[in-house]
Amino acid sequence: MQIISIDVGRDRVKATNGIKEIVFKSTVGSHHILNISPSITDYDVCINGKNLFIGHLAEIESEFPIEIITESKAHPETKMLLLTALALLVDPNEEYKIYCGMPINQHSIECKSKLMKFLSGKHEVVIRERKFPVKCKDKMSKQLYAMLHDVPIEEKKVSVELNNENFLISPEAISAYWNEILDNEGNEIDTYKLLDKVVRVIDVGKRTVNYCTLIKGKQEKSESGSLNYGTVKLEKVTSMTNEDKEFLTRNIVADLSKVWTDYDNDTFLFTGGGSLLLKDFICINYIDKKIMFCEDPLMSNARGLYKMAVLENKDC
């Protein structure tokens, strides 16, 4: 049984099958014929007969690059991003299950059903990858080579089907917690003894800040949810300053203090790309608290989802 976890974030898509990991920008764009082969690794794809650029390639080449940061993930761009990640990691000739993350405040039957309507069904995906010579090991050498040579294209064609049996949705942030507790085989390691503690996970993303409380591995739903803003707030300022980062951090601290009123002895686990951006100010504002940062906050949810899925399917 193949297990593939996909975290379709508003800034980046992160995914893993336990062996290979991929990260690319959450941008979908219009397609055109490229006269010069791109030197970047992002994707020229055809999904259900529609040609698209995905990721950084969409940002620099598309006339209409789209990066959706709406509250809901139930839109066509999520579908294109998820199918691209899936096609890059799956072997369609073997049985597979896909696990996907969703903001905590949207992890409801209604929201999950709405997302599934966009995703369910049979899909045909073609990934067009440019094959550079072995000597082209970095971006600069690929750029120079692409200016002088036609880079051959290799097409990977994948047929997949998504349904309620092989596609499961998990709340975000919680998976980052389990990433710290399980190894890739689903075995408990719990290096930091988090299962013995009350842990407050804060997942700082571009569009939302997901937060949850776990006591001995069990989620306290009354103390879990999502703040309807993220680091996208910083993109609205003309020139981002440390003062802007400090205000955003204080905003998060203030809003969480209305939900969490008794946490002096708890452990705070920070994850998400925003935790890197705000790390200095998080440390200042939680100076008297026990805080931890995920080693790789970008991948922690995707890795945790994978490990949870492995544990769930151990006896299957």
Closest CA to 126 of 154, 156, 152: 156
How many Å apart are CA 296 and CA 301, to the nearest integer?
10
pLDDT of residue 204: 97
Structure tokens at 246: 């400090």
Structure tokens at 233: 């707030």
At 163, which amino acid appears? N
pLDDT of residue 35: 62
Say if CB 182 and CB 311 are below 8 A apart.
yes
At 201, which amino acid appears? V
In sign, the C-alpha dihedral spanning 171, 177, 183, 186 is: negative
At 139, which amino acid appears? K
Specify the pTM: 0.91
At 146, which amino acid appears? A
Going residue by residue through the chain, which has 316 residues, state the pLDDT in tens, using 9 for 90 and above: 999 999 999 999 999 999 999 999 999 999 988 765 555 657 899 999 999 999 988 998 899 999 888 878 888 999 999 999 999 999 988 999 999 999 998 898 999 999 998 899 999 999 988 788 888 888 788 878 877 887 887 889 999 999 999 999 999 999 999 999 999 999 999 888 999 999 999 999 999 999 999 999 999 999 999 999 999 988 877 778 999 999 999 999 999 999 998 888 999 999 999 999 999 999 999 999 999 999 999 999 999 999 999 999 887 6
Characterize the bridge pairing of strands 2-8 and 96-102: parallel
CATH for 172-312 is: 3.30.420.40
Whole-angstrom CA distances from 156 to 48, 79, 80, 142 are: 14, 18, 16, 21
pLDDT of residue 36: 58
- Strand ordering across the sheet containing 96-102: 21-25, 12-16, 2-8, 96-102, 167-171
Closest CA to 314 of 219, 177, 182, 190: 182
The CATH homologous superfamily to which domain 2-169 belongs is ATPase, nucleotide binding domain (3.30.420.40)
Closest CA to 28 of 7, 42, 48, 49: 42
pLDDT of residue 38: 59
How many Å apart are CA 54 and CA 67, to the nearest integer?
10
Say if CB 154 and CB 129 are below 8 A apart.
yes
Contacts for 58 with CB less than 8 Å, ≥ 6 apart: 25, 27, 28, 29, 42, 52, 65, 66
Residues of CATH 3.30.420.40 domain(s) within the chain? Answer: 2-169, 172-312
How many Å apart are CA 218 and CA 198, to the nearest integer?
10
Expressed in angstroms, the distance from the first to the final Cα of the chain is 9
